[in-house]
Every structure is written in C-alpha cells, then in structure tokens.
Amino acid sequence: MDMFFAYLCIATATPLFLWLENRKIALASIPPIMIMWIFFGLYMTSSLSPAGHTFMIAFFAINVILAHIAAFLIYGLPFIRKRFSSR
C-alpha cells in the first residue's frame, strides 16, 4: 500500500508537469487520478470489497502502464526522432 500511495502522490502532480508539453494527456490523466484517490479513501475506511481490492490493483497497474506510454510518447519519441533524423 505504501507503493500505491507514493505513486498516487506522484501521479497527482503529473498533470502540472505535462501541461506545457501536452495538454490533452494532462487533462486525460485527471479522471484516473480522481478514481485512484476515491479507491484510496475507500481502502482507508475499510469499505472496499474483495472485488474492489482486485479492481483497485488492476486499475493501478493499468495506470502505471499508461503513464509509461505517455512518458515515452512525450519525451522518448521526440528524442528518438531527433537523433535519427540528424543522420
């Protein structure tokens, strides 16, 4: 759970960092962040069913994967294009 909370804190600040590079991705990341905060609140109040725990973990994993894809599209792909186009 510590890892989930640490990621939640980092993910909450992510739209601020992405705002200048890509506003669409920054805005699209806000609803999943809100859902993760809701799940965290439900987890802390012990009102989450076993199916809810499974969904929370699955949603966390999907969000991490999507965050890495977004980071690659915003930062990695332009770097690769720039590097190979200069040859």
What's residue 87's pLDDT? 64
Mean pLDDT, the chain, rounded, equals 81
Counting the structural domains of the chain, the total is 1
What's residue 75's pLDDT? 83
Q: How confident is the model at residue 17 (pLDDT cuts 50, 70, 90)?
A: confident
Count how many residues are written for the chain.
87
User: What confidence tens digit (pLDDT) does each residue in 28-70 have?
Assistant: 888 888 888 888 888 888 777 888 888 888 888 887 787 788 7
Q: How far is CA 10 from CA 19, 29, 36, 63, 86, in A?
A: 15, 12, 12, 12, 34
The domain of 23 spans: 2-85
